Amino acid sequence: MYIKAIIILVFIILLNSCQKKKTFDKLTNQEEVITMNQITTDYDTLINRVKFQGNIDAYDELFYSFMDSNKAERTDSTMIYSKIMSEKYNYEKAYIDYLTALSEKNEIKFNFDDFSTINISLMDDSSKKKTEDWLKKMLERKIITQQQYNSVKK
């Protein structure tokens, strides 16, 4: 009986020692930093969500990632996707983003709180027409008021 108890005890100890111990397989890196402009989804996915779904979160993430780009890439890319979001999905912020990018591309500085600071008379004819058409579109969709539209220097 004594030997039988020892064999059972040894068997139980062996079974317990074979169980996987609870350990952490991977330590998290506390030094990893994610910046505000760092995208969390790949560009192709974001672009498809913007183009085909009108996904506002994808547009905003894409928009803020463009802020790290050079001026030409930033303005051109912003104009493409903000135009899609504004015209196809009527996203109000995208109208402003397009106008901002178009102005930056043409080196026109202004304050959106005061549309009289927008001076499109300094633009070349093609850009000026594009900006006037965009402002008219914003007026039609009630993104800006008639007073704001009239205060722009043409």
The pLDDT tens digits for 58-109 are 999 999 888 888 888 889 999 999 999 999 999 999 999 999 999 999 998 8
**Within a domain: residue 48?**
yes
Confidence of residue 4 (pLDDT cuts 50, 70, 90): confident
**Tokens encoding 83:** 């135009």
**Within a domain: residue 100?**
yes
> What is the pLDDT, as a whole number, of residue 20?
58
> What is the pLDDT, as a whole number, of residue 125?
94
**Within a domain: residue 8?**
no
Q: What percent of the chain has pLDDT over 90?
A: 51
**Within a domain: residue 5?**
no
Average pLDDT (48-52) is 93
Q: How many independent structural domains does the chain possess?
A: 1
**In the predicted model, what is the mean pLDDT of the chain?**
84
Range of the domain at 89: 43-151
Length reported for the chain: 154
**Within a domain: residue 25?**
no
**Within a domain: residue 38?**
no
